[in-house]
Each structure stands twice: as structure tokens, then as C-alpha cells.
Structure 1
Amino acid sequence: MSQTFVFLPPAACAGAQAALTVQRVADGISESLTFSQVLVQLAGNWTLVMPVEAVTACAVNLPTRKARWLRQALPFAVEELLAEDVELMHLALGEQLADGRHRVFAVRRSWLAAWLALCPTAPQAIAVDADLLPGPGTALLPLYGRWLIGGENVTRMAVHAQDWPQLSSLCAHPQIAWCVPQHLVPQPVDECLPVTEPFVWLAQQSLHNNLAQGEFAGHSSKGHWQRWQPLLGLVGLWLVLQWGFNLAQGWHLQHQANEYAAASAALYQKLFPQDSKLVNLRAQFDQHLQTSSGSGQSRLLGLLAQVSGAVAAEGGYVQISQVDFSEARGDLALQVQAAGFAELERLRERLQESGLAVQLGSASREGARVSARVVIGG
């Protein structure tokens, strides 16, 4: 059965709009249609592809491998990495990386729910455009007027071509740019490979991380459920038999676990007396270790990911001409050029709404544009 992909543009970050022009890929053909036109033509399985500007991607250490405990541990593992309250976010657990960490994707729950509310049938998969880029190393692809960055890197983001030279040293090699022949490629890259139809090519890549989880998971049809009923019945019978054994074993282990938990809690409180609330000792302890040995590169990429989303929302009226990052101060200084003072003010408001501390320096007019220095974080 043919799979349909619906790509939302960066403008979709502003909110759900049935009249917004999106890209539909089906049977190897890519076409631009309004979202409402695409919904009328949807049949069978389909995948919603979100712009990376709407998503925060990170990697964290999780204290367990059991599926039901992993989801319970997610909020505590990522809450300090998010600019917004974790309760507002839909968290999706992704693949496990070579260093043992798991990818985690966070998207504002109300924003995603508003887009899905327009759909007569729920997508079977939800993906992020930059996350579809293949490895090894770092992959770059021009899409919707910006360059997607993905591959083996933890970070998934979109940048303007002029920003790539300052990021290339932080990204894994080989660095491969996939683009239409004769397309101007940002440098440096290790290799340029041709792509005739970027949307079609991206839809053909493997989906490693499906964000359709939890409340946004795709629902199977009634017929599919009935086909699995016999197997589920056998599984249920086995679970009942296993339950008796687990109950006896669990009672014995629980007593032992309580003793270990009490000893661990006492040790943790000695090490970190300022933490009055203990929820998940392993996750909180790992977070302290990460904080004490935090990477300036990780903070830089995190700030750039949020800035790129705010700049993309201005639709090309704001451009960044220079980026300076101070690891000692923890701030990111940007030399920004905008069409006018109103665009600079909107950019400042968008960054503040993302939870960032923003200082806007005095602006000056240079020809037809306005230039200002913006300092973020610190």
C-alpha cells in the first residue's frame, strides 16, 4: 500500500491553518496543496512530517530499560532541557544511541493537537523533517528555503546557509550536502550528492523515530484488532499464570528493595542537601552529573535551535549576520539585520516567549535595513 507523506512548512509553527499550503508526497510525486485539499485526498496510512522548528530534540540517560518506566522517567530527565514547562509538552521516546542515551523529542501538546484535530483520520506516524535525514555523519538538505541538519548528531535543526560555517566544527563527519545539482552549497562539506526531488527523497528515507506515541498514537482498525484476538488471548492466559509466580517473588524482593531505596535516599540527601524533593534518584543524580560537566557545545546548539525557530517564523524579514558564543558567560550574541524596527521587536518577543533572557542593543539603520545586537542567555 502506498504511503502518503504530508510536510508542514515552517509557517505551520504559528498554529493550525487548514488553508496553509503544504507539500504532499504520494507514489513518488510531490505537489503543493492546501492542508484542507490534502485531507480530502487522504486514504489509508499516512505520515505527518512536522517542521523541526516546532520540535525540541535532545538525548538523555534514562535509569531503566523497561518500557512503562521509561515513559514515567522522561519528564524528569528532560525538564531542565526545555524552555517551557514539561507539563505542556508531548514527549516522544526515540531510538537509543551508541553511547546508551535515548533520543527524546518534545513538541507543544496543544499545537500538535490543533493540527490533528483538522484531520479526519489520524496519521499512522508523526515525523520531524530534519530527523528523516540519513547517516552516517551529518546530512544537510535544503527544504522550504532553509537547510535541515540531521544524521548522527543529537541535534536536529534548520539554519540559513550563512550560519553553517560556524556550526560545521560541532557536527559529525562525513558532512554530506544533498541538494539539486547546481544548487549553491554552504561550505565546508565533505561531499555533495544530487537529489532531484528533495521532498520525495526525504519521504523515501527510513523512519527511525515515530512521535505518534501515547495520546497521539495511531489507532488500528477493527479488522486488524480481530486478527490479533487469538494471539492476545494466549498472551493473557500466560500472564495470569505468570502473575501468581511474580506475586510471591515480588513480595520477597520488595522488602529488599525498600532497604536499598532508603539507603540510596540517605546518601543522595547527604550529597545534594539542597534537593528537598526526591522523585527518581537515578534520573536526578544523572542530571547533577550532566550539570556539573555540562558541555558548552550542547548549550550553544540548544540556543541556536530555539533562535532558528524564532527567526524562521519571521519569514525572511530577519537575518543573522554574525554569531558569537561565550561558554564562560553562557550567552549567545547575534548581529541581526531586519527589514524594520517592528521586526526586531517581534523577534525579541518570540525569544522571550520561548523562555529565553533577551537583551536587545541599540538599533541603527543601515541603508534599507535595521541592524542591532541581540544577546541571549547569560
Structure 2
Amino acid sequence: MTEHIIYLLPAGIGGAEAQWPVRVRTSGGEVYRSVLGELPLPQVGQAVVLVLPMELLSCCGTGPLSTRRPSRQTLAYAVEEQLDTALETLHLAFSADGDHVLAIDRALFERVLACLRERGIEPRAIYADADMLAQKGPAAVWLEGRWLIGGGENVRLAASAQIAQALVDRLPPMHWMAEPDYAGDPLCNRRVGDALAELCHKPAGAIDLLQGGYARRHGLFPWRHLVGALVLSGLLVSLAGQWRSDQVVRHADELRAASQQPDRQLVQAPPSSMQHLAEMSEQLVAAGGLTIALAQHTEGEGWQVNVVAHGFADLERLRERLPNLQVGQARQRGAEVRATLVWAGGQQRQVPVPPTAAWTAARLSEQAQASGLRITDLQSSEQQVIMALQGPPRVLMEWIHSLEQGGGQLHEIRLQVDGEQMLAHVALQSGQP
């Protein structure tokens, strides 16, 4: 596995999510330790995999079923008695064949995901550590002070050395893998150089907990827009006025051209997605005491924005300014309030735009470089052009805005601020007029 691995350590169970100790293995092989609330922002285009300690989960088999393709509800009822916990308090994730299930406390799972999102991290997949041994056959690995046992029928355990020794006669023959420092354990029959790397290597068959209501949206990126810097609020406000003025000028030019050419159809381009965010930022700054920490846009659903406020009164003032604003999750953390806002005003209307030259990889590359942006990756197919680029935040946001105003159909955008630079990953329909 070459993804960026974030491993929540069992030592953090029962503590505050933000202080949960983690072990990180980067895609380049670097390993370091940190806490969940202090993880750095991920690099653009970086695939992140979250690994949970088996101590947080339960595992059991579903047993024989009467239907060939049982629904999630049928599978849930099949294991209800084994779990001995109210189903509504659990998040259940099932194996591809439906033979076994992993269960985790739903509230805890959501708190962990919320903590990650505050850091701009959206996992591509979430696994349980012992379940990552699924395709290795019956196997065990010593990691973080205990044996992880998996790969059998429905055996997924985290056990101390003493408990593992007591269970060994009930388990099938297997590899007991450990790094050299722990290779003296009587159960160890195979030495490995890096136990975490061994665990994460090709975890085919492991259950991805991102199922049901937590399933990732299908598409190139999980979020349409991601903005990860507090300074963007002020910058977006300054851009909002400029873009509004530009739109008025463009409309006046269109009216003038239409009066000279009676047969010409007048079509005004709708505000871009970036312009919607800028307009929301105006109201946010005017309300006072609020700053954008994170923003995402999904086509047809509007903007979802994570904000930091001095108090709940700041949120109420903003809601008065934006009638369509919905305040979702809001919680006090010390002297600040963090809230998730949903604003339907950011929905994009599909209005045809006058044709321009085809958006090819060569043309996009030329325009980006002419604007002073640096392209770090470029991929092209018959359907779309995918670009990774970086540059000053204002220049980059204006460039993306100009693509939309010029008729570009942006499938996905991901934006992230790193110091004085903004990183972007853009997917655009290829060869369109």
C-alpha cells in the first residue's frame, strides 16, 4: 500500500479525539508519531487511509442467509443478537461476500471523522488493523504492545501476550510475525523488519468501514471544493467585489452586442462556484467574529462550510444575513465555537455558455503558465483533463473562476493553502467547446 497511513493507536482509547496518539506512515515510507488534532494538512491528491485499533470494534459472522443478495438491513438483523448492543448506536460494515461484519460505536466513529475533517483530511478508506490480515490466511503480528490476530473465518482480535498464549491451542496454525526487538516471544515464528508495513501491505479483502451513510461519493475527489486556510475569508471578500464588477461589465457588453446583432441569442453566464463562496464570505465577514476553516461544494447541494466563531451569537448574526443558511453541528471548544454550515445559495444553475475554444491539456497548460502558475502534474484523456498546480491564492482562484466563466465544466476541484501558496487539483471536461 503506497497511501498515506494514519494509524490510531490503542493507547488513545477513552481520551479526547484531538489528543489521540497516532502513528503515521507517509507514502514515501517515512514513519513518525503525532496526535490526531495536530496532523498536518494532506498534500493535494494524496490518498489517506485511516487504520483503527481492533479494540474499538467487534467482529462476528452473519451465518446462513435465505437470500443470495441480502440488503444491509437483512445483514444487520442477522447479527443483532451476537452484538448485544442496540443497532441504532452502531455503525456496521460488511465484507464483500456478506459473511462477516465489523461493528463500531457510531458516535465515536463520527467524532473521529469530524476531527479529521477539521484538519482537512478525508480518508479514502478506513480499516480495522486486525482485519487487514484478511488475505494473508490465519496470521498474527505484534504491533503496539499486543498481538493482532486475523485472517481466519471470523477471528479478528487484539490480544496481550498472555491471552494470545492461552488462545494458541484454539487457533489454526499460523505465522506469528514480530520485529526483531520482540522476536524472543515464544509464539513468534517469523521475523519482519517493519510490522506496520507488513500489516498495511496489500490489505485486499479487508472491510472498508466507509459504507452506508459514510460511503465516499463516487468521483475523482471526495469534495468539490476544499479550502484550508483562515486567511481566505478576507481574500475572498476582495475578490467578490471584483468578480461582481466584471460580471456587470460582461453583461453590458453582451447587451451592446445583442442590440447590434438582433439574431444573436443573449445568454448570461451564471456566477461561478468560486464567486458563490466569495459572496458568502462577504456576509460572514460582515457578521463579525467568524472565519472560514474549511469549505466544500457538492454539485446540486450547495456549500458546506466549517467556520470558527467567538461565540454562538456570531452564528446567529450570520444566519440572519443568509436566510437559506442551515447551522448543522456546532460545539464549544475552549474560547471558540466550531460549526458546520450548509448554504443552499451556492447551488450552481446549469446555463449554457457561449462557445469558446476547446479546453485541451495543451491550452490549459499554456494559460496556467501564462498566469504564473506552476503545473506539477497533468493527465489527459478523451473525457477529461486533470491538472495539479500551485501558485499565489488570489491568482489561482481567479484562474479557476475564469475557467468557469469561460464555459469550462469543472467536474472536481480541490484547493489547499500551504503558507503563501495555494495547491489545486482540477478536473475539467476535455475537448469541450
Q: How many residues align?
A: 217
Q: Which residue in 2 is equivalent to 1:130?
A: 130
- 1:206-241 CA distance string (max 9 Å, x none): 242211101111234467999xxxxxxxxxxxxxxx
Deviation at 1:31, TM superposition (A): 1.1
Partner SS, residue 116 of structure 1? helix
2:68 paired residue among 65, 70, 82: 65
Structure 1: gaps of 5 or more residues: 227-378
Deviation at 1:64, TM superposition (A): 2.1
Whole-angstrom CA distance in 2 between matches of 1:223 and 1:122: 10
Q: Which residue in 2 is equivalent to 1:361?
A: none
Structure 2: gaps of 5 or more residues: 225-433
Q: 1:138 to 1:72 in 2, by over 3 A?
A: same
Alpha-carbon contact 2:135-2:203 (below 8 Å) kept: no
Q: Which residue in 2 is equivalent to 1:198?
A: 195
Whole-angstrom CA distance in 2 between matches of 1:188 and 1:52: 20
Partner SS, residue 116 of structure 2? coil
Q: Which residue in 2 is equivalent to 1:218?
A: 216
Deviation at 1:2, TM superposition (A): 4.6
Instruction: Pick the structure with more helix per residue.
Output: 1
Deviation at 1:184, TM superposition (A): 4.1
Q: 1:6 to 1:60 in 2, by over 3 A?
A: same
2:50 paired residue among 48, 51, 54: 48
Partner SS, residue 18 of structure 1? helix
Q: 1:148 to 1:221 in 2, by over 3 A?
A: same
Q: Normalising by structure 1, report the TM-score.
A: 0.52
Deviation at 1:60, TM superposition (A): 1.2
> Superposition pairs for residues 100-139 of structure 1, below 5 Å?
102-120=99-117, 121-133=121-133, 135-139=135-139
Q: 1:215 to 1:163 in 2, by over 3 A?
A: same
Q: Which residue in 1 is equivalent to 2:365?
A: none
Whole-angstrom CA distance in 2 between matches of 1:225 and 1:158: 34
Partner SS, residue 18 of structure 2? coil
- Alpha-carbon RMSD: 2.6
Q: Say whether residues 1:147 and 2:144 are aligned partners.
A: no
Whole-angstrom CA distance in 2 between matches of 1:171 and 1:89: 28
Q: Say whether residues 1:84 and 2:82 are aligned partners.
A: no
Q: Give identity over the alignment, percent.
A: 29
Deviation at 1:137, TM superposition (A): 4.3
Q: Quick one: higher RCO (CA 8 Å, sep 6+), 1 or 2?
A: 1
Whole-angstrom CA distance in 2 between matches of 1:160 and 1:223: 40
Deviation at 1:75, TM superposition (A): 2.1
Deviation at 1:12, TM superposition (A): 3.3
Partner SS, residue 31 of structure 1? strand
Deviation at 1:161, TM superposition (A): 0.8
Alpha-carbon contact 2:12-2:21 (below 8 Å) kept: no
- 1:335-366 CA distance string (max 9 Å, x none): xxxxxxxxxxxxxxxxxxxxxxxxxxxxxxxx
Q: Normalising by structure 2, report the TM-score.
A: 0.46
Deviation at 1:182, TM superposition (A): 4.9
Deviation at 1:118, TM superposition (A): 1.0
- 1:68-109 CA distance string (max 9 Å, x none): x4202022111111132121100111143xxxx601111011
Partner SS, residue 162 of structure 1? helix
Deviation at 1:181, TM superposition (A): 2.0
Q: 1:46 to 1:78 in 2, by over 3 A?
A: same
Whole-angstrom CA distance in 2 between matches of 1:224 and 1:36: 21
- Larger Rg computed on CA atoms: 2
Deviation at 1:156, TM superposition (A): 0.7
